[in-house]
Amino acid sequence: RMLSGSATTSASGQFSLQSEGTTEAAVLMAEGTGDFASSVLVEAGGAARGTVQTAPMTAETDTEADVFIAARQRGSRARVADAVLFVTADVTTDVRAGQTTTAQVAAALDAAIAAERRAARDEGASDDEVEEAADERDDAHAAFRTSLSASVSAEVATQTFEDAYVNAYSRAGLTARTSARAARARVLASERFAGSLSNRASASIRAQARLFAAVATALAVEAEFEARGAASARLATLRAARTTLVASLRAATTNVQRNAAEAQYASTVEAELSAESGVSMGQLNSAMSATTAASAALTASVNTAASGEAVATAVATYYTAARSSVAAVVSADLAVDVLVLLTAF
């Protein structure tokens, strides 16, 4: 619905808007002289908190708003933070150039969020916990837009937002394993349903989802080691490996580079796992190879999935099969849990 209010603008382009409050997500739209028109999102509840500083209006914020509206028109549960994370600069470029449509991006976003939410519930998360995680993400967006309006480095603000977005499940009280498995479902849904987009937009969305899942998986790996009482030095090694992985994925421009970064991380984890659990590297490698059939079945199911929820169901089936396959080769619980997580790479 349209909110009633009034606005004033300055010669420099700054604006002030007074309107009635709303607990719903809000889209602020502005038009200027010539062909200028843009919009920016404010997360749910943001417009009811008194004074709100929006992010500067750009082509990217305008595309984010368009995608968010299109997703909501589909009945999607996507939040403002989801649209902001999903719509990258490359996605914006191709939408503006007419090479990808807003509807296509919204459909991919809808599927990714649906897969993530369903996978979390399959792991035992309640609807309230999933909603709390979504609230945490919108809070992260509120901090993000405030940082941008305060002229904080866009790169720093973006990375802080992305980190907070990934950690939302943990802040909502969900386990790192739940977050990792939900992220796996999300990345697979992104790969499945971004295929209809332009090559550049699709590659950008997939790379973003892959980074998201890698961070969630690495945090879950650390949580497994910590739960088994691993020494602080070993945990520090794992954290350093995560930092290197994230930096490499952010810098990567090709899938070859991404694959190499993930392989290097997995190699470091496997070495630490062998030392911690007493399971030989040969046994660990054999256990990983035992998941080949489950991985092939997952790929086949994802490739024919008609919805994000179907992707999540395939992921749940995969994890059950993969755990069984790994446990048939190694018996140490830590080894089983960590190796199943590493199959994401």
Global pTM value: 0.88
Q: Which residues pair with 38 in a beta bridge?
A: 30
Least reliable range by pLDDT among 10-24, 144-158, 316-330: 10-24
Query: At residue 13, does pLDDT exceed 80?
Result: no
- Coil, strand or helix at 6: strand
pLDDT tens for each residue of 261-289: 999 999 999 999 999 999 999 999 999 99
Q: What is the pLDDT of residue 316?
A: 97
Closest C-alpha among 121, 37, 127, 137 to residue 86 = 137
The dihedral sign for the CA sequence 56, 207, 186, 126: negative
Which pair of structure tokens corresponds to residue 326?
A: 């790994």
Closest C-alpha among 130, 122, 137 to residue 79 = 137
Task: Say how many C-beta atoms besides its own lie within 10 A of residue 306's C-beta.
Answer: 10
**Helices assigned H by DSSP within the chain:** 59-73, 80-86, 89-96, 102-122, 127-149, 154-166, 168-171, 176-193, 199-227, 232-251, 255-277, 281-289, 292-303, 308-327, 333-342
pLDDT tens for each residue of 175-207: 999 999 999 999 999 999 999 999 999 999 999
pLDDT tens for each residue of 289-316: 999 999 999 999 999 999 999 999 999 9
Average pLDDT for 252-259: 96
Q: What is the pLDDT of residue 186?
A: 97
Q: What is the pLDDT of residue 150?
A: 77
Average pLDDT for 218-231: 97
Report the percentage of the chain scoring pLDDT > 90: 77
**Half-sphere exposure at residue 159, Cβ-oriented, CA atoms within 13 angstroms:** 10
What Å distances lie between residue 7 and 10, 19, 32, 325, CA to CA?
10, 9, 13, 62
Q: What is the pLDDT of residue 39?
A: 79
pLDDT tens for each residue of 25-69: 767 666 666 665 677 787 656 544 556 777 778 899 899 999 999
The DSSP code for 195 is T
